[in-house]
Structure 1
Amino acid sequence: MRVELFPVPSRVEGIFEGCFVVDMLRATTQISVLLEMGCREIRLVSRVEDARALRGALGDTWALLGERGGVPPEGFDGGNSPWEVLSAGEAPLRVVMCTTNGTGALVRALEVGARAYPFCMRNLSAAALRVLSHRGSVAVVCAGHEGESSYEDLVCAGGLLDRVIRLDPLVELSDRARGALELYRSVAGDVRGAILEGSSHARYLVELGFGADLDVACLVDATEVVCPAEAAEWGGVIRR
């Protein structure tokens, strides 16, 4: 099998058996926490106005979560802080989710693959097993930040590839995938410190008061939950 890496969703091209999508800060980390804490369904939407309309159609039993500029848009029930979900001790059962980068990346991945798997540091090993369940071409898609590649997503993608290669050294990696692997291995001893130093978005979130989210996002293999997204009328849906 072969693994290709795309540093931003706009550069994704080709058709793949599966796409693995990371928005480490913070969408795919929050998704992992929501599912771990008992959420049963997440609707993924790219645009804020569509997210509001979808929640309106589904009803108030659905939570509307997401962000623009790191904070919840008007009318949303909450942002995309994984720490807030963990500290609450429970998750809403059904969520409509719309974020600046992550949900759009997942929707884009669904256009080139039958399924898109959100992953993060918290479920790297479980996601690696999912990668190896495929036998053809697989894409790893980084959400990036506002159209540009992001350091933290490349590090996390490299962490996934590190586990894939350790499990099966015969997997073929593209040049970009191998570059992400080497980046991860160069900082594996202190991922949090490296991301805080190398990611302007991480520093911005800390300034906003979301430093605890960085701590949660840097926990490695905290859960084995990995659930695929599938295409839906409004964008994508994850069910557990």
Structure 2
Amino acid sequence: MRLRVDLVPQEGLSYADVVLVVDVIRATTTASAFLEAGARELYLTALRESARSFKDHDVVLAGEEGGLRPAGFDYGNSPREALEAAVGGKTVVMSTTNGTKAAHLAARTAKHVLLASLYNAHAAARLAHDLASEEVAVLCAGKEGRIGLDDTYTAGVLAEFLQIMGGYDLEDGALTALATRRTYPDPTEPLHLSAAAQALRQVGLEEDVTFCAQIAASPAVPLLEGRVGEALIFRRGQRNGSQSQIPTL
């Protein structure tokens, strides 16, 4: 089976099988936190205007503009805030600068799309391995069209977990991500060095970066299950068969 990592989204990319979308600071981390807080499902829209069209009494809006909560939205893109959010049984509609756009790109061709981060890395790797028949790809959201150190590092962590389950042929992007992971044994260092972290520091949200550096703290993996209008519908994915643990790296 192939293991592929695309370090930045590009038009024209296509996927044969399973894609793990990574925007570790912060969209894919926040998505898992909302599911842990009890959200029934997540709608991901590429544009904030599309998100606003879903507003209803059982729907809350979450997203960011310049790192902060957009006008008219209920929540920002903070995983710390999401974990404490009053979203039990509700639909959360998310729109962010990088992560939700990457998810839409993956959804054009992939059989299965999962949202992955350090926060849910073990669970996401296990579910991707279960679902895949020929390839697992990791699509890094990057930052505004450029490679992100934080997402590349996260892709390396996911690649290590997948390698433990065995049977993968690695292409150059996966090798690059693994090399990045091995350069930084402590996840807080590459995340805090990243451009995404620097942007959050400027708006007083650096604590979110520390939250996003947790490895395997959540079992919640958002899995694409359908569409409604311009939104992708994600619900909590479930594994079939064994729930065996991946060894700690």
- TM superposition score normalised by structure 2: 0.88
The answer to whether structure 1 residue 206 and structure 2 residue 201 are counterparts is yes
Corresponding residue number in structure 2 for 1:185: 182
Q: Give the Cα–Cα distance (whole angstroms) in 2 for the partners of residues 137 and 90 of structure 1.
A: 37
Q: After superposition, what is the alpha-carbon deviation per residue over 1:151-182, rounded to whole angstroms, capped at 9, x for unaligned? A: 100000100001111221x3111111111011
Structure-to-structure mapping, 1:103-122, within 5 angstroms = 103-122=100-119
Corresponding residue number in structure 1 for 2:214: 219
Corresponding residue number in structure 1 for 2:169: 172
Contact kept, 8 Å, 1:45 with 1:96, in 2: the verdict is yes
Q: After superposition, what is the alpha-carbon deviation per residue over 1:9-36, rounded to whole angstroms, capped at 9, x for unaligned? A: 2156233211100000100000011111
With over 3 angstroms needed to count, the CA separation of the structure-2 counterparts of 1:12 and 1:81, relative to structure 1, is farther
Q: Report the AA paired with residue 188 of structure 2.
A: R
Contact kept, 8 Å, 1:6 with 1:12, in 2: the verdict is no
Structure-to-structure mapping, 1:38-187, within 5 angstroms = 38-55=38-55, 59-86=56-83, 88=84, 90-92=86-88, 93-133=90-130, 134-168=132-166, 170-187=167-184
Runs of at least 5 residues in structure 2 that lack an aligned partner in the other structure: 237-249
Contact kept, 8 Å, 2:8 with 2:146, in 1: the verdict is yes
Percent of counterpart pairs with the same letter?
A: 34
Moved more, 71-80 or 229-238: 229-238
Q: Give the Cα–Cα distance (whole angstroms) in 2 for the partners of residues 77 and 224 of structure 1.
A: 25
Q: Report the AA paired with residue 142 of structure 1.
A: C
Aligned length: 233
Tell me the CA shift for residue 138 of structure 1: 2.2
Runs of at least 5 residues in structure 1 that lack an aligned partner in the other structure: none
Contact kept, 8 Å, 1:114 with 1:230, in 2: the verdict is no
SS at match of 1:65: strand
Q: Give the Cα–Cα distance (whole angstroms) in 1 for the partners of residues 137 and 231 of structure 2.
A: 19
Greater share of residues in helix: 1
Q: Report the AA paired with residue 191 of structure 1.
A: P
Q: Which runs of 4+ in 1 moved over 6 A?
A: none
Q: Give the Cα–Cα distance (whole angstroms) in 2 for the partners of residues 152 and 54 of structure 1.
A: 31
Q: Give the Cα–Cα distance (whole angstroms) in 1 for the partners of residues 209 and 17 of structure 2.
A: 31
Q: Report the AA paired with residue 143 of structure 2.
A: H
With over 3 angstroms needed to count, the CA separation of the structure-2 counterparts of 1:78 and 1:139, relative to structure 1, is same
Q: Give the Cα–Cα distance (whole angstroms) in 2 for the partners of residues 104 and 230 of structure 1.
A: 17
Q: Give the Cα–Cα distance (whole angstroms) in 1 for the partners of residues 226 and 108 of structure 2.
A: 8
Q: Give the Cα–Cα distance (whole angstroms) in 2 for the partners of residues 227 and 102 of structure 1.
A: 13
With over 3 angstroms needed to count, the CA separation of the structure-2 counterparts of 1:104 and 1:3, relative to structure 1, is same
Q: Report the AA paired with residue 30 of structure 1.
A: T
